[in-house]
Amino acid sequence: MKPGFAFALEATDGAARAGMLTTPHGSVATPLFMPVATAATVKGIDIGRVRETGAGMVLSNAYHLHLRPGEAIVEQAGGLAAFMGWDGPTLTDSGGFQVFSLARQVKVTEEGAFFRSHLDGGRVEFTPENSMRIQERIGADVAMQMDHVVPLPNDRAVVVDAMRRSLRWAARCRDAHTRPSQALFGIVQGGLEPDLREESAAGLVALGFSGYAIGGLSVGEGPAAMDAALRATVPHLPADRPRYLMGVGQPRDIVESVAAGVDMFDCVLPTRCGRNSLVYTFAGQLRLRNAVHATDDRPLEAGCPCVACRHGRGYLRHLFLAGEMLGPVLASIHNLTFYQRLVVRLRAAIAGGHFARTRQELLAAFTPAAGQAGGAEPVAE
């Protein structure tokens, strides 16, 4: 673990863990959920409101910040946190996911990934070495290794090739990373194959990282397959280091992942769904455009402290139907607050020794009844 960084377990209940992650920009309790500030902004939400949701750590993307405004500008501003006006810990993804999400524009070789910029078509080169240089200059508390992500399900040969390339890239990232005030996490790959997940985890642990992420999931494989991949991976990760499941996900996914022993999460769903009028509550999802809410003056959720819940559902529905930007903003704030309340509830259940009961209560609420609309695959950004 790098100087200024620490991870301490404070309670366990089965495989579920509650802990404290310490960074140079402060400490944050786990399980934790990081709002996604891809380009140094959480979409539609000013940074003060993000803090009010209960968030303690945010995530940005090295690929997008490299393209605009450029790491030199972020560095000149004093680093990522200062640039966005954030007063807590930050994490940058390496750009590896863009190998998957921008696959039509990417060529992957052993040297790295070569993009055509989605902004102007210009050539962009990401190698493990320059990914580290970019992330060091951006200055987040945690940097991620560059990895090779492929869609799932997939041919085993494709998954093996990507996983072993990711291991080789992990070694190059470790060797290239020099910033003493920044932790570096390795990323476990291996698709849905238990033996490949174990091989990847063992290889990363042998290299030695400050934390370990589980990548390459939530890319089309479905919840049951994701759960199985987690169960095959987590036992092979060190108990004294944070475990981070990247890009996940639905509330149900977070509950089950905490049950498997995961500590950290990020996902765009709270804001993406909020912009599309879908909100989360502990009683299930609400679709605010539905006519049933037209004259409903109840808040989205009783007891929720967010600014959206100072208004009735009917008013929030009106904002969406009227095309007012306030509707998506308020719904996004509510969803971000819900995710923070969820991880706080899970942490309390672990500390109190009643995680199994809380898990079942939450899963029952998050599972749609027969005939009801299910887990919302939201409109793309």
Confidence check: pLDDT of 121 > 80: no
Phi, psi of 331 (to 5 degrees): -65, -40
User: 126-141 burial, b if ≥16 CB within 10 A, otherwise e?
Assistant: bbbbbbbbbbbbbbbb
Both 230 and 281 in a single domain?
A: no
Which residue in 13, 93, 141, 147 is the catalytic one? 93
Asked if residue 112 belongs to a domain, the reply is no
Asked if residue 359 belongs to a domain, the reply is yes
Residue 59: its pLDDT value, please? 98
Give the pLDDT mean for 179-199: 96
Q: Which of 163, 312, 266, 142 is nearest to 212 (CA)?
A: 142
Both 222 and 324 in a single domain?
A: no
Q: Which of 200, 262, 220, 234 is nearest to 34 (CA)?
A: 262
Query: Which of 214, 246, 267 corresponds to the end of one domain?
Result: 267
Asked if residue 110 belongs to a domain, the reply is no
Both 216 and 262 in a single domain?
A: yes
Query: Which of 244, 267, 290 corresponds to the end of one domain?
Result: 267
| Domain that residue 330 falls in | 274-366
Residue 99: its pLDDT value, please? 62
Asked if residue 380 belongs to a domain, the reply is no
Residue 370: its pLDDT value, please? 36
Asked if residue 6 belongs to a domain, the reply is no
Tell me, what amino acid is at 280? Y
Instruction: Check if the beta carbon of residue 316 is closer than 8 Å to that of residue 330.
Output: yes
Both 209 and 253 in a single domain?
A: yes
Asked if residue 109 belongs to a domain, the reply is no
Q: pLDDT for 42-68, tens place per residue?
A: 999 999 999 999 999 999 999 999 999
Confidence check: pLDDT of 358 > 60: yes
Both 260 and 310 in a single domain?
A: no
Q: Which three-class secondary structure state does DSSP give residue 141? A: coil
Q: Which three-class secondary structure state does DSSP give residue 143? A: strand
Residue 151: its pLDDT value, please? 85
Which residue in 87, 240, 266, 297 is the catalytic one? 266
Both 198 and 82 in a single domain?
A: yes
266 assigned to active site: yes
Question: How would residue 222 be classed by pLDDT, with cut points 50, 70 and 90?
Answer: confident
Residue 102: its pLDDT value, please? 65
Question: Number of folded domains in the chain?
Answer: 2
Helices 313-321 and 326-352 meet at what angle, rounded to 10? 140
Q: What percent of the chain has pLDDT over 90?
A: 83
Both 79 and 194 in a single domain?
A: yes
Confidence check: pLDDT of 257 > 90: yes
Query: Which of 222, 245, 267 corresponds to the end of one domain?
Result: 267
Both 228 and 257 in a single domain?
A: yes
Q: pLDDT for 73-88, tens place per residue?
A: 999 999 999 999 999 9
Q: pLDDT for 133-156, tens place per residue?
A: 999 999 999 999 999 988 888 999
Distance separating alpha carbons of residues 191 and 69, to the nearest angstrom: 33
Both 228 and 278 in a single domain?
A: no
Both 231 and 311 in a single domain?
A: no
Both 182 and 157 in a single domain?
A: yes
Both 150 and 57 in a single domain?
A: yes
Distance separating alpha carbons of residues 52 and 295, to the nearest angstrom: 28
Tell me, what amino acid is at 192? L
DSSP 59: E
Domain holding 79: CATH number?
3.20.20.105
Asked if residue 289 belongs to a domain, the reply is yes
Asked if residue 235 belongs to a domain, the reply is yes
Residue 380: its pLDDT value, please? 31
Question: How would residue 375 be classed by pLDDT, with cut points 50, 70 and 90?
Answer: very low
Distance separating alpha carbons of residues 101 and 151, to the nearest angstrom: 9
Question: How would residue 105 be classed by pLDDT, with cut points 50, 70 and 90?
Answer: confident
Q: pLDDT for 270-322, tens place per residue?
A: 999 999 999 999 999 999 999 999 999 999 999 999 999 999 999 999 999 99
DSSP 124: E
227 assigned to active site: no
Residue 379: its pLDDT value, please? 31
